[in-house]
Structure 1
Amino acid sequence: MKLAGRAFLAALLILAAAKHALAEEPKSSGTGFTVTADGWLMTNAHVVEGCERIEVKGRGIATDPRIDSTNDLALIKVSSDKPWTALTFRRAPTRLGEDIVAIGYPLADLLSDSVKITTGNVNALAGLKNDTRYIQISTPIQPGNSGGPVVDRDGFLLGITSATFSKKAADEIGITAQNVNFAIRASVADLFMQSQSVISLSGDKATGQPVLSTADLADKIAPSVHQVLCYGKLEPQASVQREETVTSLPRPAVSGTLLDATGYDAIGFDYATLKDVSYQDCRNACDSDGQCKAMTYNAKHRFCFLKNDVVALIRNRDAMAAYSSSKAAEIIMSDFTSYSGMDIPGGDYKRIRQTNYLECFVSCIGDNACKAFAYVAKKKECWLKDVLGRPKATKGIELGVK
């Protein structure tokens, strides 16, 4: 009996060891940070896309992922009995050269698995090819930093770590660029949150409040920053760290005489509107009409807009566009993102009266100072803006942000 008991115990130990050895390992990891007191976290879309299961280490399994692939943002929700500490979005605009801090979990499988902090500066107020959704930062970025917060010296959120200048791009230009990294502006993330009915905290530094030391800043921000683990099948395009070389439109899929562009709105002159139809109905209507050069389908409202001309494509997460291959060489490759029912108060430097949306859009594209435009359809007014402030929901306004 003793020998049988020992053999049984040994078998249990072997089985336990085997289970431990076969424990599931994450496919990739990144960083997220709390944006609401009830457990919503922000991270990069490329951190969580393609995951069968998402875990916020030490807090639980994330559910209800909300993805904005166009702007590389994602929201995930975790239910937990422990309290959440949300970061505050800064209202004041980002300044060139200001001191910043990035917090995250870089190289957690090689270095320590604790949160890490790096300091740097805002090097430029735009990203690659003048993409004003981004700021360029000098804080060192490594795989695992993706989705982490970039804060000012008072702990207010300025951006979300997203990308670094790739080795491939460096090889192509023959220059090894140092500390060329990019963060998505907090204002872009705030727009995404509003589109998902998730309300952020916002604020500014109180007058006379002293600047925090790096150590005190780490103590303040670290409780809001968490490691995000991706388990299961990972899609080929997903990665721990995205490397940017250019900002461009997705490569369209060719089908007949029309080219598809999901997540975009075709900007042109509408000559017909179809209501309560499917995307395929909309596409077929354009394909069979000789004067139709492009179409936009609004999935949210099931509206179809047929256009007899097209000049540009503008990002819109609720839209699906298609355009004639004969117009492909003429279309402006726009870096704008469109938001319905949104406005950015302030920053207006030019008003254009008795105009339409297309003319408003083209006016902003042709003006280097313009970072955004707001079109008021009821008044046929266009407002050009040179400052990206805090957005808010506003009925009747069509907002376009570079």
Structure 2
Amino acid sequence: MSEPQGPPESIYSSPEDFQAWLAEVRTRREARARSRALHEHWVRSLEQLREEIAAASAADDQEIAAELGGVAARFEALRSGTVELDAVAVQASASRTVATAGPAQPAQQAPLPRRDPAEEAAAQEALKSALQDRLAAVRERVASLRAARPPGGDMPLATQHAFRLRAAAAQLGAVCSEATRGRVDASLSGETGAICDWLDIERDLVGDCDACSLFERDALRLACAMVPPGGWVALAALYDQTADALPVLDWTQANVERISSEAALRMLNAVGAVQQLLYRRLTEYNLTDRLQVDLYGRIKDLGKTVGFVRALSPHNSEEELKALADSLMPAYEDLRRSAEEEWARQEKAARRAAAVSAVLDLVRARPALGQDPRSLDA
């Protein structure tokens, strides 16, 4: 996955290049819209198939249930990405060719296991109860964020707060994703909607206006069906890690003239690795967030003063980025401690030098000082 790229410079001077670039952007937008629509079709089809399978099983029609189950399995494979659509189309085409060559043979499929309705209802109630507990934890986190809201005008803290809100939204996404898969999402919609409202209000209060898929209800609903619960949990952890990295970037930027270029670049690479891991995860799930794009720009701009930030390269492996990201806080603590100790020594030496200089100036101004004891009283 590549890093965010801006438009080519030539679009500002060439009408032809601008039109070509605009056409390419439209093509990408349309392709993304088609992809989302296709995924939504798969999810809705799966929901309908599950209902039909349950009805067929209740009627003890195993043949129909098996046929529906085979189709549902294929839709699930498409949704989870374990098979490609083209491969399915080729296989379907081959099946039609065989059908024209002779009489169709009934598919041999194992009958679906029947589940007792009471057992299924009990399982759904247990899942609903567990998810309600997790929703309560998300509510508590949102409440703690509201209590820790930074004062107005403190942009660094507000930005960090905005990333924490995204982490909470991703935790909510994990619950919604599991609820969708367990078919209890409708019964939890009121609670999840209330948390979404609180997040929206908190964003407004800290001036977080950046576009983000996690706060767009329709996009979030579709993403909950597409992204597995574990993916949301990982995304929440990455948002928290990004929030933790912001003070490091702020400190590095504030002291870039006082620390070595090597030390500053080491910090930028570690922070950049955190940003890239977040960016890659968002891209993997077809999610967008302008705030992390702005963070990328900050890192890249600061890197222009100290050196190339290799962590921002798309050629780094996931393992390399994780190693860099994990080294961030220990490296930052060591650098900050050693830098502050050195600055304290420098300040102490500067005060000593200033005191000696003041004494020398006094002696030069009054050469007789110290020769006549009475001059000390003057």
Q: TM-score range by the shorter chain?
A: under 0.3
Q: Of Structure 1 and Structure 2, which has the larger fraction of its residues in strand? A: 1
Question: Bigger radius of gyration, 1 or 2?
Answer: 2
TM-score by length of 2: 0.25
Q: Of Structure 1 and Structure 2, which has the larger fraction of its residues in helix? A: 2
TM-score by length of 1: 0.24
